Amino acid sequence: MANQSSSAYPILCASFNQDTSCFAIGTTDGFKVFDSNTGRLCYERAIGAFVIVEMLFSSSLLAIVGAGEEPSLSPRRLCLFNTTSGTALRELNFLTSILAVRMNRKRLVVILQDKSYIYDINSLAILDTIDTVSNIKGLCAFSPSLDGCFLALPASISKGSVLLYNVMDLHLHCEIDAHRAPLAAIALSSNGTYIATASEQGTIIRVHLVSEATKSYSFRRGTYPSTIFSLSFAPSMQLPDILVGTSSSGSVHAFSLGYFGRSKRSGSFLGSIIPNSVTDALDPAHHDVLHNAAPAGVKSYAVVRKVDKVADTSTSEIVACRATISIITYNGYFQEYNLSINNQNEFLWTLEREFKLLNVILDDGISL
């Protein structure tokens, strides 16, 4: 997700690792790494303000970028940091500020305002440089799967076009015209099969199939404009069951995509003549809202960490799904909800835990 945040809040950036088993935050004082399942603090370093902290799965490697409040923490310097030794492994310096960093086990991607660099993560050799439109927010999405490893970037500053680049094969895959207004949020499914987008209007969320660049779903988030802070697919090898998004209204939005996302078509005259893509956008049955997850205007970041299917014991038919949704709010809170969706598309949110991130004390027995 985009990482820079108002200094009025204690958290400057937040990110989950590639399998959402851990998450990291950058603060005005340093950075911290947590275990997603337990909420335990695994590692912390208080050496100044950081605007980018990215993990490589659950390894000891972090990619960190300072906020520039002191010369040693320049926003133009990327540090590959080893949490085991507590030292920098390598540093990469750039002419302009680093706006985003993404990694998998083969590639390192660095996003600047008008260029994106692709590196071999082992040798740090530059494999390709992508010239981009002005991308002042560092907007991007990355699918960590080696079989479907794509980088998504804005392709226009005047409309919501997105460029998809194959990071493993090093070639442009396609360009998708998703919205009339410029993009505000992008997310790729973990296997690179689907991409979700929202424009600066924030009223419609669209999902495209990456392989064919075709639109699969459109959802209406709301009637009034709102800034979409984050989008995230549920983990899945096929079509993810759920897509979640956070917005400046302080709400978390859940959209059902999989088994329960396709309610039976209406038998009415209107339902028979309106195309699927239009009725999907207008049908509230595929969408539910958790209000007041964060104060209005406070940036938040939500991910679907896992989804479990519930089957009828007598027929083996799937009758419900249960999702674990984790939310980080930049005013310093971690929340985890259980979201249940039954086969009537009824949504039920249950708060499982909530705590202040900056109050957690390091457990010396835990290490990365």
**Residue 286 reports pLDDT greater than 90:** no
Rounded distance between C-alpha atoms, residue 298 and residue 335, angstroms: 14
The secondary structure of 26-44 as a DSSP string is EESS-EEEEETTT--EEEE
Q: What would the mean pLDDT of 310-328 be, rounded to a whole number?
A: 86
pLDDT tens per residue across span 113-149: 999 999 999 999 999 999 999 999 999 999 999 999 9
In the numeric block, which tokens belong to residue 93?
Answer: 């310096």
Predicted local distance difference test score (pLDDT) of residue 281: 47
pLDDT tens per residue across span 57-80: 999 999 999 999 888 899 999 999
**Residue 85 reports pLDDT greater than 60:** yes
- Mean pLDDT for the chain? 89
**Greater pLDDT, 111 or 363:** 111
Residue 268 DSSP label = S
Rounded distance between C-alpha atoms, residue 286 and residue 283, angstroms: 7
20-24, 276-280, 329-333: the lowest-pLDDT one:
276-280
The secondary structure of 94-135 as a DSSP string is -SS---EEEE-SSEEEEE-SSEEEEEETTT--EEEEEE-S--
Predicted local distance difference test score (pLDDT) of residue 222: 81
Question: Do strands 194-199 and 183-188 pair parallel, antiparallel, or not at all (unpaired)?
Answer: antiparallel
Among 260, 153, 245, residue whose Cα is nearest residue 198: 245
| pTM: predicted TM-score of the whole model, two decimal places | 0.90
**Residue 279 reports pLDDT greater than 80:** no
Rounded distance between C-alpha atoms, residue 140 and residue 152, angstroms: 5
Predicted local distance difference test score (pLDDT) of residue 258: 66
Q: Would you say 77 and 90 are in contact if contact means Cβ atoms under 8 Å apart?
A: no
Q: Would you say 35 and 19 are in contact if contact means Cβ atoms under 8 Å apart?
A: no
Q: What proportion of the chain, given as a percentage, has pLDDT over 70?
A: 89
Q: 73: helix, coil or strand?
A: helix
